[in-house]
A and B are shown apart, each in its own frame.
Chain A
Amino acid sequence: MEKDYNRINTLIERFFEGYTTNEEEKELYEFFSREELPQELAPYKTLFDYFETGIADDFLKEKSPAAPQPKRSLKRRLWIAGSVAALLLLLVTIGVNLFTQDHPFNPYEGSYIIRNGQRIDDLNMIAPELEMAATTALLRQEKMEQLLQQAEEAERGNLRHQEIQYQLCEMVSRYENRYVREEAKRILNIHCNN
């Protein structure tokens, strides 16, 4: 009998350390279901009775809608909230990773085309048409910029020409003799107001 108790003590130690097998736990429950127990092991009876049947009863009570809901302790609530938060964080991380893997950056994001009144925004499908439209429009803009630049340069050239002509006229006007002035204008090929 003493040997049995020693084994039970060993099993209890293993139980609390979490090393017991199902068979060993069953052995413990059976042992503590006895009416008569040695004095030193009696305090464990309530505990093992609870593990054997109490947990299952509690679980059934929680499941039953009629049964009053037991109040959860703050520690348990925090534990649940923490677990839910961690799970959500994990799901969000996985989701973001999946999203970025499936949707790599597309420089044409938000672009679309309309054909016969129907809007198409599948970028993979319309990419060539978007490229073509963008290239054509930008080439046209480039042409416009070049033409404007040419016009600006021509205007600048014309202004310079007018400025030189004005200076030459100023110089010619200093000659007192009218015939000399006219000859100078003819040679310089300039037209002055005076």
Chain B
Amino acid sequence: MKTGKLVAIVILLITSSISIDLMAQENILAVVRKAEKIEGVRFDIVRKKNPETKQLVNEITSLSFRDNEALKKEFLDAFEKDRANADNEIEGRNQGVVTELMYKFGSTSCAFNIGKNGSVDVAIIVSHK
């Protein structure tokens, strides 16, 4: 009985840690999924493997767009919502306006950047090192 309870607790801890890891940046990922279907958004999904070990090194979801204030605001809101879950965060401002956000959630990094020409770049990097 005791072993059964212990196993159940271990399984619960493992599943909860996995779901917490996924939940950490859920708002950002939701906007990324939405942006995939929006015309004018450049999307690059890069899965890079190590040529020697053939193992996946990192998965990068990179997207960029411009002249879409609504989408830009959605990303800023999503980053703000997921801020509390980040292990580390870096915020860059230019004349009081947020131009750069970088969050680290365990092995996942999320970056938001507004370029000088007004283009918005978002990158999600999952490292498997």
Q: Do A and B bind each other?
A: yes
**Among A105, A114, A144, contact of B102 (Cβ-Cβ < 8 Å):** A144
Q: Give the size category of B's interface with A.
A: 20 to 34
**Among B45, B48, B51, B58, contact of A113 (Cβ-Cβ < 8 Å):** B45
Determine whether B28 belongs to the interface, using a CB cutoff of 8 Å to chain A: no
Would you give 14 A-B contacts (Cβ < 8 Å), ordered by A? Answer: A108-B46, A111-B48, A113-B43, A114-B36, A114-B42, A116-B40, A117-B39, A133-B44, A134-B46, A134-B60, A134-B62, A136-B62, A138-B125, A141-B109
CB-based contact A148/B88 at 8 Å: yes
**Could you tell me the distance in whole angstroms from the C-beta of A120 to the nearest C-beta in chain B?**
10
Chain A residue nearest to B87 (CB atoms) is A148
Determine whether A159 belongs to the interface, using a CB cutoff of 8 Å to chain B: no
**Among A105, A115, A117, A130, contact of B46 (Cβ-Cβ < 8 Å):** A130
Number of interface residues of A (CB under 8 A): 25
Determine whether B27 belongs to the interface, using a CB cutoff of 8 Å to chain A: no
**Among A111, A114, A140, contact of B111 (Cβ-Cβ < 8 Å):** A140
Per the bound structure, the CA–CA distance linking A113 and B47 in Å amounts to 11
Known: A112-B45, A134-B60, A137-B111. 7 other contacts (CB 8 A): A105-B51, A133-B46, A140-B113, A141-B111, A144-B88, A144-B109, A147-B90
A138 in contact with B60 given A107-B49, A108-B48 (CB within 8 Å): yes
**Among B40, B49, B54, B125, contact of A141 (Cβ-Cβ < 8 Å):** B125
CB-based contact A129/B109 at 8 Å: no
Contact flags B31-69 to A (C-beta < 8 A → 1, else 0):
000001111111111111111001000101010000000
